[in-house]
Structure 1
Amino acid sequence: MTLKHDTAPAADDVVNQLLDAALMHVPFDGWSDATFAAAVSDAGVDRIVADAICPRGAVDLAVAYHKRGDALMLEQLAAEDMTGLRFRDKIARAVQLRLEVIDDKEAVRRGTTLFSLPQYAGDGVKLVWGTVDAIWTALGDSSEDINWYTKRGTLSGVYSATVLYWLGDDSLDHQATWEFLDRRIDNVMQFEKLKAKVQSNPLLKPLMVGPNWLAQQIRAPEARDDLPGSVGPRT
Structure 2
Amino acid sequence: MLGTSVTWGDITFMMTGAGLTLAITFWAMLGGTLLGIVFGLIRSHSPWYVNYPMGAVLDVLRSVPLLIQFILFNSFQSIAGWGMNPFVVGCVVLAAYTSAFCTEIVRGGIQAVPVTTRRAARSLGMNWAQDMAYIVLPLGTRVMLPSWIGLTLGVMKDTALVYAIGVIELLRSSQIIITRKPHEALLILAIAGLIYFIVSFPVSRLGAHLEKKWREND
The one of the two structures with greater contact order (alpha-carbon pairs below 8 A, sep at least 6) is 2
| TM-score, length-scaled by structure 2 | 0.27
| TM-score, length-scaled by structure 1 | 0.26
- Higher helix fraction (1 or 2): 2
